[in-house]
């Protein structure tokens, strides 16, 4: 572990946080330095790994940054709730992500727990091919179809399984937010 940014022990569990509305006038290193100062960073123990930058949808002068940190630092930062980068208040939140197995398209489980032997297409929902080999023109969500069958619902299935507006995905995300469980992005 050299700086706490890039180098870490791969056996330490890291938690994903999202830093909302960080100004683009600050470099990633400057943002990490502000996090270190505000979170009482302990270089002997704490780990910060920057994983992704997401442009702000409406304001080009801001972006969101996803970081991965060890448990102790994640608790400190979440309790802090925000920090300032210049005059800009940047919010710190848990990053909630639902897993969706790319082989079977099922929401909520990982490849290690998947028992499906065939792949299902993310676009059309058919068994036996993946999206790269799909020739279907119509999109069909296998998750909404399963929800309709299992719970006698009438959800619209005319979208991909990966659609962020998928009713099944949105329902599961709402359940996740209301639960006390903490799921973070696995990589």
Q: Are 106 and 143 in contact (CB under 8 A)?
A: yes
End-to-end CA separation in angstroms for the chain: 19
Does residue 173 share a domain with residue 115?
yes
pLDDT at 146: 92
pLDDT at 187: 35
Strands 88-94, 14-23: pairing is antiparallel
pLDDT at 152: 92
Does residue 22 share a domain with residue 88?
yes
Any idea what DSSP says for residue 163? -
Q: Per residue in 57-79, pLDDT tens? A: 999 999 999 999 998 899 999 99
**CA 91 – CA 30 distance, rounded (Å):** 16
Please spell the DSSP secondary structure of 168-179, one letter per residue. HHHHHHHHHHHS
Q: Are 137 and 153 in contact (CB under 8 A)?
A: no
pLDDT at 10: 52
Does residue 137 share a domain with residue 79?
no
The residue out of 35, 66, 96 marking a domain boundary is 96
pLDDT at 11: 56
Cβ atoms < 10 Å from Cβ of 83: 19
CA distances from 143 to 106, 131, 163 (A): 6, 16, 11
- In a domain, residue 10? The reply is no
- In a domain, residue 34? The reply is yes
Does residue 146 share a domain with residue 116?
yes
What is the chain's alpha carbon radius of gyration, rounded to the nearest angstrom? 20
Does residue 120 share a domain with residue 59?
no
Does residue 120 share a domain with residue 76?
no
**CA 6 – CA 51 distance, rounded (Å):** 10
pLDDT at 1: 38
The residue out of 40, 71, 96 marking a domain boundary is 96
- In a domain, residue 105? The reply is no
Closest CA to 114 of 122, 124, 103, 123: 103
pLDDT at 5: 41
Does residue 120 share a domain with residue 89?
no
pLDDT at 13: 81
Does residue 92 share a domain with residue 25?
yes
What's the CATH code of the domain at 71? 3.30.70.330
Q: Which domain holds residue 167?
A: 111-184
Paired with 83 in beta bridges are 90
The residue out of 51, 69, 96 marking a domain boundary is 96
Does residue 72 share a domain with residue 116?
no
Q: Which residue ranges in the chain fall short of pLDDT 70?
A: 1-12, 180-187
Could you give the number of structural domains in the chain? 2
**CA 150 – CA 148 distance, rounded (Å):** 6
- In a domain, residue 2? The reply is no
Q: Per residue in 111-134, pLDDT tens? A: 777 888 888 999 999 999 989 999
């Amino acid at each position: 572990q050299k700086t706490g940014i890039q180098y870490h022990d791969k056996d330490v569990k890291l938690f994903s946080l999202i830093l909302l509305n960080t100004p683009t006038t600050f470099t990633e290193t400057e943002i990490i330095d502000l996090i270190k100062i505000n979170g009482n960073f302990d270089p002997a123990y704490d780990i910060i790994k920057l994983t992704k930058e997401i442009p702000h949808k409406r304001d080009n002068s801001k972006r969101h940054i996803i970081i991965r940190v060890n448990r102790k630092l994640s608790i400190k930062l979440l309790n802090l709730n925000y920090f300032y980068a210049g005059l800009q208040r940047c919010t710190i939140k848990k990053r909630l992500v639902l897993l969706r197995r790319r082989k079977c398209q099922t929401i909520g489980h990982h490849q290690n727990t998947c028992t499906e032997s065939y792949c299902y297409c993310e676009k059309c929902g058919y068994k036996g091919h993946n999206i790269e080999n799909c020739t279907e023109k119509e999109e069909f969500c296998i998750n909404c179809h399963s929800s309709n069958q299992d719970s006698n619902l009438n959800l619209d299935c005319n979208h991909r399984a990966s659609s962020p507006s998928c009713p099944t995905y949105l329902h599961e995300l709402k359940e996740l937010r209301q639960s006390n469980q903490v799921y973070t992005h696995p990589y």
